[in-house]
Amino acid sequence: NAGVTQTPKFQVLKTGQSMTLQCAQDMNHEYMSWYRQDPGMGLRLIHYSVGAGITDQGEVPNGYNVSRSTTEDFPLRLLSAAPSQTSVYFCASSFIRGGSTDTQYFGPGTRLTVL
């Protein structure tokens, strides 16, 4: 099992550019999510999905879009990059058990800088 994979590992964008951060998991997890991590701010939920075709907003969704066409993939799209989106982005996945999310498996992260 590869677990949770994320690409790219590093990315530099100019303000206004768009891009897609890729996330894939091979554990057949129903739940997938995207977090951003800024210094001293912990992990903040951007978007999440409880299954293919279902997505929902987290705490900080503005400026980001997601889709979940398959169980395995959950790409995060930045529509028009802004310097405030400079951050480390983590994708995570888990099973859903008893109505709650189970152990979260995190990808290695994408370090994004917007100039």
Partner 1 sequence: GQQVMQIPQYQHVQEGEDFTTYCNSSTTLSNIQWYKQRPGGHPVFLIQLVKSGEVKKQKRLTFQFGEAKKNSSLHITATQTTDVGTYFCSFSGSARQLTFGSGTQLTVLP
Binding stretches for partner 1 (CB under 8 A): 31, 33, 35, 40-45, 48, 50, 56, 58-59, 90, 92, 96, 99-109
Distance CA 26, CA 63 (A): 28
Distance CA 75, CA 37 (A): 17
Distance CA 12, CA 81 (A): 10
Closer to partner 1 by CB, 26 or 59: give it: 59
Least Å from the CB of residue 73 to partner 1:
19
Closer to partner 1 by CB, 17 or 27: give it: 27
Least Å from the CB of residue 90 to partner 1:
6
Closer to partner 1 by CB, 19 or 45: give it: 45
Nearest one of 25, 16, 30, 12 to 75, comparing CA atoms = 25
Least Å from the CB of residue 10 to partner 1:
12
**Strand 42-51 relative to strand 96-97: parallel, antiparallel, unpaired?**
unpaired
